[in-house]
C-alpha cells in the first residue's frame, strides 16, 4: 500500500506562545505599517513580549511590482512612522543589490565548452559541444 503524498507533508502547527494581533495603518501613499501586538491564547495582551512594527512597500520593476517587507525600529506607532522612510529606502537598496547579484549569477552561469581545434562541424563550423548551465 502506497502513502498518499499529503500524508508525508509536515502538519502546520501554530505556536501558542508566539501569537500576535495584527493592526494595519496606511497613509494610502507610501505604504503600510503592520503593528503586531503580542497576545496570549485568550486574546489578551501579553506584556512580557515586545510589540513588533513592520513596514511594507512596493518597488516597481519591468517585471511588475515587487513587494518589500522590513522591520521598523520604534517603541510606538509614532516612532515606526518616523523610521519608515529610512527603512524603506534601505529595503529598496537591498532589493536592487539582490536583483543585480541574481542577474550577475545568471549571466555568468552560461558556459559554452570549446571542442578540440580540429573538430569541425557541418559546413566547416567549429563544434563546441552543448550549451551547459551551471
pLDDT digits (tens, 9 = 90+) for 27-66: 999 899 999 999 999 999 999 999 999 999 999 988 899 9
Write down the residue that cell numbers 502506497 correspond to.
2
Give this prediction's pTM: 0.69
Tell me the pLDDT tens digit for each residue of 80-91: 999 999 999 999
What are the residue ranges spanned by the domains of the chain? 15-114+128-133
Write down the residue that cell numbers 529595503 correspond to.
91
Grid cell at residue 36: 503586531
| Of residues 125, 29, 42, the one with CA closest to residue 81 | 29
| Of residues 68, 126, 133, 77, the one with CA closest to residue 105 | 133
Amino acid at each position: 500500500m502506497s502513502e498518499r503524498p499529503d500524508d508525508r507533508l509536515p502538519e502546520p502547527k501554530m505556536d501558542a506562545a508566539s501569537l500576535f494581533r495584527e493592526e494595519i495603518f496606511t497613509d494610502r501613499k507610501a505604504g503600510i505599517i503592520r503593528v503586531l501586538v503580542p497576545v496570549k491564547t485568550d486574546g489578551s495582551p501579553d506584556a512580557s513580549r515586545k510589540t513588533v512594527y513592520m513596514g511594507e512597500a512596493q518597488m516597481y520593476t519591468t517585471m511588475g511590482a515587487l513587494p518589500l517587507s522590513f522591520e521598523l525600529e520604534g517603541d510606538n506607532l509614532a516612532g515606526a512612522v518616523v523610521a519608515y522612510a529610512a527603512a524603506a529606502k534601505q529595503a529598496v537598496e537591498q532589493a536592487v543589490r539582490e536583483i543585480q547579484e541574481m542577474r550577475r549569477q545568471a549571466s555568468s552561469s552560461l558556459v559554452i565548452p570549446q571542442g578540440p581545434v580540429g573538430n569541425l562541424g557541418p559546413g566547416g563550423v567549429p563544434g563546441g559541444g552543448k550549451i551547459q548551465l551551471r
